[in-house]
Structure 1
Amino acid sequence: MRVEIKPKPLTREAFEKFGEVIEKENMDSLVINRGYAEKFEVCNMDTNEENGNLCLHIYIGKKREFPLHIDMLEKHPFFSQTFLPRSKEPFYSVVALGGREPDLSTLEVFETNGEQGILLNKGTWHFSLLCIKDKEEFFVIDKVSTKQKGKNLVECIEHNIEDKEIYLIKE
């Protein structure tokens, strides 16, 4: 049976079970640098696991075609992940809750306004980067594992849902 999902606006309230919306609207700030800068604390990344360092990446996304088959979900079990758009273009985020496997009854898709970023909580199931336009750029902050005593941190777990026939419909 085919299931169609449609994006809804990204709001703090709607997204809070999956992570945080990164925007400065309606946030308190602190004036710093003798009044020449304003500082907003927009998110707190979870990096409390061992064997890794924070890393700032630049991703360049390719435009997707719709309807889009949501054929897999992934999660990062040991760290949160942050996406900050550089291109000022809206993008989609498909997310779900779950443990060892995603709970598809919690699957939701959000559309940013182009100014918003997202922080995915540690362990949040999500689809890969979903750009509406070609060559959208993002700053992505996450953890890069380092080996210690022969162990390597599992950075990403993928779960195949090809057989579920879930399609993202662009409005």
Structure 2
Amino acid sequence: MTTINLTPEPLTAENFNQFGDVLSIENKDSITINDGFANKFADLAKIDTQEECGETSVHIFVAKKRQFPLQITMLEKHPFFSQTFIPKGETPFIVVVSPPAEDPIIENIKVFISNGDQGISYSRGVWHFPLISLKDNAQFVVIDRKHNIDQDTIKQCTVRKIEDVDINVELSL
């Protein structure tokens, strides 16, 4: 069995652009609103949930801390909608991704670490490992397609097990 050890690289808009958007105000223009009491940084990510009359939904996930090295045993994708994660508070987290394809391409897996103020928005079809929190009880605002069990005709999530390769994320803070 082949072993791949991955170390996260800092998350930037440039190195994440093939997977989606980085939500950050760094190097972004704003407009002043609310009589000068707020700055608005608009259009930081495209929310893509409209397939077959889909509705956008906002959730809060409360995550458990992961242990490292972390073995990546599967990847998932949402073929018909984007998915956005925004940490509440200064909460760095790890992102494991592979570009959109029929199946994950193991040699194209990338690992990023947010700076705690950044969120991410996966484009539809991007393979990713579920949320990797570095803190217990960390809260994340998640924006994606509302799941209407009785009405949905689209597949919400595709999961692929990784069995032929031992992939580990190593973290040294």
1:170 is aligned to: 171
Task: For 2:30 and 2:85, locate their aligned partners in 1 and report how far apart those are by CA, in whole Å.
Answer: 21
Uncovered stretches (5+) of structure 2, i.e. residues with no partner = none
2:114 is aligned to: 112
Please list the CA deviations of residues 110-154 of structure 1 after superposition, one character each: whole Å capped at 9, or x if unmatched: 000000000101110000000112111100000013368x65221
Q: Structure 2 vs 1, CA of residues 105 and 98 (structure 1 numbering), >3 Å: closer, same or farther?
A: farther
| Structure 2 residue 30 is the aligned partner of structure 1 residue 29 | yes
Q: Structure 2 vs 1, CA of residues 101 and 38 (structure 1 numbering), >3 Å: closer, same or farther?
A: same
TM value normalised by structure 2: 0.92
2:89 is aligned to: 87
Give the RMSD, CA atoms, in angstroms. 1.5
Deviation (angstroms), 1:39: 1.0
Larger CA deviation: 29-38 vs 106-115: 29-38
Larger CA deviation: 83-92 vs 39-48: 39-48
TM value normalised by structure 1: 0.93
DSSP-derived class of the 2:100 partner: coil
1:2 is aligned to: 3
Task: For 2:8 and 2:76, locate their aligned partners in 1 and report how far apart those are by CA, in whole Å.
Answer: 19
1:15 is aligned to: 16
Please list the CA deviations of residues 77-124 of structure 1 after superposition, one character each: whole Å capped at 9, or x if unmatched: 111110000031210000001321011121000000000000101110
Task: For 1:49 and 1:145, locate their aligned partners in 2 and report how far apart those are by CA, in whole Å.
Answer: 12
Q: Is the 8 A contact 1:74 1:159 kept in 2?
A: yes
DSSP-derived class of the 1:24 partner: coil
Uncovered stretches (5+) of structure 1, i.e. residues with no partner = none
Deviation (angstroms), 1:55: 0.6
Give 1:47-126 correspondences, 5 Å limit: 47-126=49-128
Task: For 1:5 and 1:21, locate their aligned partners in 2 and report how far apart those are by CA, in whole Å.
Answer: 20
DSSP-derived class of the 1:69 partner: strand
Q: Structure 2 vs 1, CA of residues 62 and 147 (structure 1 numbering), >3 Å: closer, same or farther?
A: closer
Q: Runs of at least 4 residues of structure 1 off by over 3 A? A: 145-148
The code of the aligned residue for 2:145 comes to K
Task: For 1:164 and 1:98, locate their aligned partners in 2 and report how far apart those are by CA, in whole Å.
Answer: 19
DSSP-derived class of the 1:165 partner: strand
